[in-house]
Amino acid sequence: MLDINTQSSTNILLGKVLLIASIISLLPGCASTEIRPDQPSSASVTIDPYEDFNRSMYGFNMGLDKYLLKPVADGYKFITPRFMQTGVSNFFNNLKGINVVINDMLQGKFEQGAADTGRFLTNTTIGIGGFVDVASELGLQSNVEDFGQTLAVWGVNQGPYLVLPIMGPTTLRDGTASLFDRAANPGSYAPMVGVLEGINDRANADGALNFINEAALDPYVFTRESFLQYRSNLVKDGLLDSKEHDFDINDAVDEAIAQPGKSPAPTADKHGKLSGAAKPSKTLAQGSDAFDDMSKSFERAEYQFEKASAKVDQLSKKKRRKH
Amino acid sequence: MLRKIYVGLLFLALSGLAGAVGADELSARQVVEQFQNQLIDVMKRGKELGFKGRYDALEAAVKNSHDLPKIARIVVGKEWEGFTPEQQARFEEEFSRLSISAYAHNFKEYTGESFNFVSEEETGRGGVVIHSTLSIPGEKDVRFGYMMKKKDEGWRIINIIADGVSDLALKRSEYTSVLSRHGFDGLIAKITERIESYEKQ
């Protein structure tokens, strides 16, 4: 619904700067973003440690959008017939298809990878270079996969939230990974194609941006939260983890009713690693349950051991008496 | 004549039956579906109703399906405890107005949308999630998860998760952030500003 991801645009040079910055800070960045539930309302502190910088970047982007990107996108929408706009969107989506297949494979989703390969080949040939999305008509749904999601599946934390000039919202992990995605996109190697893609992306994001302007009390936080949740949902392949949401809600409800205290962060990746393409919520819940069970069984074992050694002591005393 | 009496009796019996069913508590799924039907109905009559008409039509529908007082509490997190009773009442009222206004604004016309029930899932601590999809012709389906809790009055929606984005979590981040940056009066001012801009369109 809120396809904020489409906001991302093209700036390879900027990406290189980001790469250097992120390689330097990748590890400490990851370490600092783990959310400790005992911190009071620390969501923004841990997820968004550079909030002041991000907010000013957000303001910059919004200004740029208002005076440059939106007028250009509006102009594009005005002069381009509707079917051409759809065609252009299809074309760029299809170019991403190669990268989708690569990341399917990297995440071990071979079946989906095969389907996405079929999708790409169908649209590139029958769909006239990708301008017509024939595959969707044939029932081959498009999947959104990128290297950021692959890294997440491999266990890399998302790192701090970042707002980059022009490119918009991202995280350290996803921003770094987007360089890989660019490299695996043939469109990146043709001059000026990136500009058209950027205009197309902006035009497509129009509805989402308008919605944010209408609905948000704080558009910056609204964008951040929906972006992070959207990404987290993609990583989990849309498996609605109502259990995880429910924990948050229940905690929040308890907290609202009882007293101030714990305030768990509602957003993505708070449990750190996600294991594979399996249901993360289940593994997480099972994980904590398993941990509880484990510590309980340790206690039981300790108790049994004490009981046993007490018996041994008694036995040895008896034996001594007999002697 | 006899036939008329018979029909009359049948009618009475039927209406009595309907009354009995109505008195029974609705299931979580029924609460959601009733609300969705009311939404679709308002969308269909959207233009003729106008904003005010849609607001009035949806007010009862939203209040009878959502636990607005609880949602209002949750979105401000532990700040709630710091509010005076007057502030709590004021916030709850403004929050309800905003929620209904947002529905009245966003569901203003009908272009063939339909809600479809997918599944029902029980969560921990006595909650239920109703999964459904919103089909919009020519667009990808939007997946909705309605998290329900049971109150004395029956099942009520406490959170809506649209395509993986939790409305409650989103609002909580936003409201607590606005509170810490602009205080209570700033929050109320922003809410009324939103409501006014919804009313204008």
The 3-state secondary structure of A234-267, one letter per residue:
HHCCCCCCHHHHHHHHHHHHHHHHCCCCCCCCCC
Note down the domain range covering B51. Answer: 2-200
Reduce the DSSP state of residue A168 to 3 states and report it.
strand
Reduce the DSSP state of residue A274 to 3 states and report it.
coil
Q: Is residue A55's pLDDT more than 60?
A: yes
Q: Is residue B21's pLDDT more than 70?
A: no
Comparing A43 with B102, which gets the higher pLDDT? B102
| Residue B57 in tokens | 């039509």
Q: Would you give the end-to-end CA distance of chain B in angstroms?
A: 57
Which of B142, B164, B172 faces A230 most closely, judged by CB atoms? B164
Q: Which of residues 154-183 of B touch A (CB under 8 A)?
A: 158-159, 161-166, 168-170, 172-178, 181
Which of the four pLDDT bands, split at 50, 70 and 90, describes residue A250? low
Q: Is residue A302's pLDDT more than 60?
A: no
Q: Is residue A289's pLDDT more than 70?
A: no
- B177 with A1: Cβ contact below 8 A: no
Contact B91, B188 (CB under 8 A): yes
Q: How many angstroms away from the CA of A103 is the closest CA of chain B?
A: 21
Taking the Cβ of residue B200 and every Cβ of chain A, the question of whether any pair is shorter than 8 Å is answered with no
Mean per-residue pLDDT of chain B: 88
Residues of B in contact with A261 (CB under 8 A): 78
pLDDT of residue B200: 86
Q: For residues A208 and A7, what is the distance between their CA atoms, to the nearest angstrom?
A: 9
Count of structural domains within chain B: 1
Q: Which of residues 198-227 of A touch B (CB under 8 A)?
A: 214-218, 221-222, 224-226
Taking the Cβ of residue B127 and every Cβ of chain A, the question of whether any pair is shorter than 8 Å is answered with yes
Q: How large is the average pLDDT for residues A3-20?
A: 39
Q: Please give the backbone phi and psi of residue B103, each rounded to the nearest 5 degrees, phi first.
A: -65, -45
pLDDT digits (tens, 9 = 90+) for A124-161: 999 999 999 999 889 888 999 999 999 999 999 999 99
Residues of B in contact with A234 (CB under 8 A): 164
ipTM above 0.95, yes or no: no
- Best CA proximity match to A247, nearest among A37, A46, A39: A37
pLDDT digits (tens, 9 = 90+) for B39-56: 999 999 999 999 999 999
- A233 with B168: Cβ contact below 8 A: no
pLDDT digits (tens, 9 = 90+) for B66-125: 999 999 999 998 899 999 999 999 999 999 999 999 999 999 999 999 999 999 988 877
- A266 with B168: Cβ contact below 8 A: yes
- Best CA proximity match to B164, nearest among A234, A159, A224: A234
Q: Is residue A96's pLDDT more than 50?
A: yes
pLDDT of residue A255: 57
> Which residue stretches of chain B are H helix?
2-23, 28-44, 46-63, 68-75, 85-106, 167-200
Nearest CA in chain B to A285: B124
pLDDT digits (tens, 9 = 90+) for A184-229: 999 899 888 889 999 999 999 998 898 898 889 999 999 999 999 9
pLDDT digits (tens, 9 = 90+) for B129-142: 999 999 988 788 88
Q: Is residue A247's pLDDT more than 60?
A: no
Taking the Cβ of residue B46 and every Cβ of chain A, the question of whether any pair is shorter than 8 Å is answered with no
- Best CA proximity match to B78, nearest among A262, A242, A160, A230: A262
Q: Determine the angle formed by the axes of helices A280-322 and A242-257, rounding to 10 degrees.
A: 80
Q: Is residue A278's pLDDT more than 50?
A: no
Residues of A in contact with B123 (CB under 8 A): 242-243, 246
| Residue A188 in tokens | 């990146």
pLDDT digits (tens, 9 = 90+) for A162-192: 999 988 999 999 999 999 999 999 989 988 8
Mean per-residue pLDDT of chain A: 74
Residues of B in contact with A260 (CB under 8 A): 78, 81
Contact A268, A49 (CB under 8 A): no
Contact B62, B103 (CB under 8 A): yes
Which of B149, B159, B197 faces A214 most closely, judged by CB atoms? B197
How does DSSP classify residue B135?
A: E
The enclosing domain of B35 has a CATH number of 3.10.450.710
pLDDT of residue B16: 45
pLDDT of residue A191: 84
Q: Is residue A35's pLDDT more than 70?
A: no
